[in-house]
Chains A and B, each alone.
Chain A
């Protein structure tokens, strides 16, 4: 279910302007309803397979077992520590990525020489699956919290950077002309024209970056285990606690959905004006 939000984007589709999808509310309700039905059907099938012994619940877990484990981990409070750990490195990673990528992207997008210099590098860094750098990053930075943040930044920075650059490059010349004709200062042009004009791209970039940041965090925890939800899944799976592992995965799924939906909400809230103009 989270795969659509979290799968690494291998193609460079980000340069396309973020289109606003407008669905009628009837359609949206229907889709939600169908989605719940589909999910319930798969869970029911899984449960039947586990109960009837078609699959061994010791290996495959079962929805009821995973649910019990989830309730347990919440009631004992065992879930909060790993959840907090994962969320905090995602948050730090995103914060660093946003603080670096937005100004850097605006600068690169508005400067032809900088763009020419950095474009191939950024494209390569964006396209190569960052996971291959993981062993090297462990070698360089160790397996402490800082090292995990490096991986999160590594995975989140480039989609965001590419989007901000695309936004800055696609500033409509007419918008800049209006600012010129009315004698807007450089600061005002940047703040009141360039920034809002780039905002749809920035938020589209943040949406992608958040998804990749979460993958980065989980992957880092799987490999450099000491804390976090990824580490927990790894540990529980090695101990054959399949129900607990599935419960942890369910928590990760919820985090993924909340994060991407949260950014989608921000997009609707702050770029409602974009689209047909």
Chain B
């Protein structure tokens, strides 16, 4: 069998943190095991507060691993490193830097803002659709535009692993749809023909199905693995794919898994005709 190279290995991972208020250890993730292949786009869905964001911050190196393996390219993640970038939930742009300077921040921090770095930034501005906004300051940007800068800033350092923390959750419905389209387009066209390895956190099931190669479903907290769902939809994908029966089928299956986590009573329930429908 021709296995693709495993980029990210998660094995028996346990994450938690000391709560300052209650002086106790709260477990965020427990016994997680799965792999992410090179150039794969994996979405993680789960009920709110289940620990998926903690998992992502551990990948970013901001939360220490309690126990288990969390390896990128065969090396345990022990802190932030230039091989990973995070697209923040709220754009978290520096208001005193204009669009270009915000995108350049990562490169500057890693002392890579040379001619090639600047060329990369210029290319990204074009790719994410910020041409003409280079000198704009964040407070003049709309939510969607801010997230484009946020995304470009993460891509600028050319990371091995791109982490996205519900980047579209604060956007209105139309902008969100648009940004999902844009993200697939950007992901499909950035890099030499193949997309970057990406882990995308969301609680929006259609978003996960639309964007991902595989969707990992987390249980309610502490997060355990419920199921990994293959999304066998062709690429490149356009938004029209959301209206196909294959999309619906995968979507409904994942939504059922997520709902059974939020409402344990629903676990055995048959297909609900009132379940929200994508699109």
Contacts and interface: CB of A to CB of B under 8 A. Distances in A.
B81 interface: yes
Given A177-B92, A193-B94, A182 B106 contact: yes
Contacts of B137: 272-273
A90 to B, nearest CB: 29
Nearest to A174: B92
A35 interface: no
Contacts of B85: 181-182
A9 B109 CA distance: 41
A183 B92 contact: no
Summarize B's interface: helix, strand, loop or mixed: loop
A179 B94 CA distance: 10
Interface of B: 60-62, 80-82, 84-86, 88, 90, 92, 94-96, 105-106, 108-110, 137-139, 153, 157
Interface of A: 172, 174-175, 177-185, 188, 192-193, 196-197, 199, 271-277
A182 B92 CA distance: 13
20 contacts: A174-B90, A175-B94, A177-B62, A177-B88, A177-B92, A178-B94, A179-B109, A181-B62, A181-B84, A182-B85, A182-B153, A183-B82, A183-B110, A188-B108, A192-B108, A271-B96, A273-B95, A273-B139, A274-B95, A277-B139
Contacts of A178: 88, 92, 94, 105
A277 B86 contact: no
Contacts of A185: 109
A276 B110 CA distance: 29
A205 B94 CA distance: 22
Contacts, number: 65
Contacts of A184: 105, 109
Given A183-B109, A184-B109, A273 B81 contact: no
Contact of A182 (B90, B109, B138): B109
Nearest to A196: B96
